[in-house]
């Protein structure tokens, strides 16, 4: 089997390449596999009978070239594809019985994460741990609804880059109101366990935008990190999406697109941690994935 560390697609050949091939799992050894695009006639007819795709296809082909290009531009996947992004969003609108189509946004697509705080609560904090080794749930290639637990070894090294899209509608409810997305980085130096923070501060009120930050090289050996979203002395709603925690040229954030941020895993997946777990979540506060109509 041929192995490569870098792939350059000749100009003009991108569409041919992506029509036949697709990347494998991003957490395991990188690979390219054949795209299975052929269906039997019987399977095709069954799929069409229960699918939203025929109705969505009509909407898609009614778009202008500029509208289709706009959907392609907001795709955060490695291979940008406007059709895929539109299908995900429009399918959600149909399920929720929402009329029309949404204007594509570069800041969020489909579902987003939400933290909501109402009295008597004034704070909330959620965590996504990133130790050296952990388990994730991965869809089995070629199977419609089959998943398998996969053990990941995340060998961490600096620099670490963070990114998040957000919309804040918060009001102060205490002396020190704040909202932030940050990584707490553990590193060893001269026998000491040290912690440093890489923070993105979020304004209390702001329409959809995106913020990024990159860490410095700290003294000693970087071991691991945890991601947090924390609200303090505030009431209201924070929406967020397109989460990035990148090091070693890979985004290691789980549930990047916030499809189900509070998803729990049970039975044979008991060892898989939640995408985000509550650290501080008093009565009146909650977090979940929502569709931002």
| The predicted structure's pLDDT at residue 200 | 97
252: left (phi over 0), alpha (psi -120 to 50) or beta: alpha
| The predicted structure's pLDDT at residue 45 | 56
pTM to 2 decimals?
A: 0.79
Q: Which domains does the chain have, with CATH numbers?
A: 14-95 (no CATH), 112-290 (2.60.120)
234 closest CA partner among 167, 169, 166, 165: 169
Which positions of the chain have pLDDT values less than 70?
Answer: 1-7, 14-16, 18-20, 22-33, 35-51, 77-78, 142-144
CA angle 271, 274, 280 (to 5 degrees): 125
| Sequence-ordered list of residues with C-beta below 8 angstroms from that of 51, at least 6 positions apart, any chain | none
| The predicted structure's pLDDT at residue 202 | 97
52: phi then psi, degrees, rounded to nearest 5: -80, -10
| The predicted structure's pLDDT at residue 149 | 86
| The predicted structure's pLDDT at residue 50 | 59
């Amino acid at each position: 089997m041929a192995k490569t560390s870098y792939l350059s697609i000749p100009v003009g050949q991108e569409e041919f390449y992506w029509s036949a091939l697709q990347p494998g799992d991003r957490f395991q050894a990188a690979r390219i596999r054949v795209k299975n695009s052929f269906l039997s006639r019987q399977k095709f007819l069954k799929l069409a009978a229960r699918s939203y795709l025929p109705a969505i296809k009509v909407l898609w082909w009614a778009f202008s070239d500029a509208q289709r290009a706009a959907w392609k531009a907001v795709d955060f996947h490695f291979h940008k594809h406007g059709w895929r992004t539109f299908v995900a969003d429009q399918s959600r609108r149909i399920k929720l019985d929402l009329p029309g189509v949404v204007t594509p946004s570069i800041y969020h697509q489909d579902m987003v994460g939400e933290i909501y705080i109402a009295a008597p609560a004034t704070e909330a904090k959620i965590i996504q741990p990133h130790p050296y080794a952990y388990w994730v749930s991965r869809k089995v290639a070629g199977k419609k609804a089959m998943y398998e637990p996969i053990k990941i070894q995340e060998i961490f090294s600096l620099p670490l880059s963070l990114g998040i899209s957000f919309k804040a509608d918060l009001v102060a409810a205490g002396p020190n109101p704040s909202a932030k997305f940050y990584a707490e980085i553990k590193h060893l130096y001269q026998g000491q366990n040290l912690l440093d923070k890489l923070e993105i501060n979020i304004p209390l009120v702001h329409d959809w935008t995106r913020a990024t930050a990159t860490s410095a090289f700290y003294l000693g050996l970087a071991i691991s990190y945890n991601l947090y979203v924390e609200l303090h002395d505030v009431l209201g709603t924070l929406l967020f999406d397109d989460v990035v925690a990148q090091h070693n040229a890979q985004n290691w954030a789980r549930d990047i697109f916030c499809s189900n941020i509070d998803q729990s895993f049970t039975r044979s997946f008991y060892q898989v941690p939640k995408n985000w777990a509550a650290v501080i979540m008093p009565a009146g506060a909650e977090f979940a994935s929502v569709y931002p109509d």
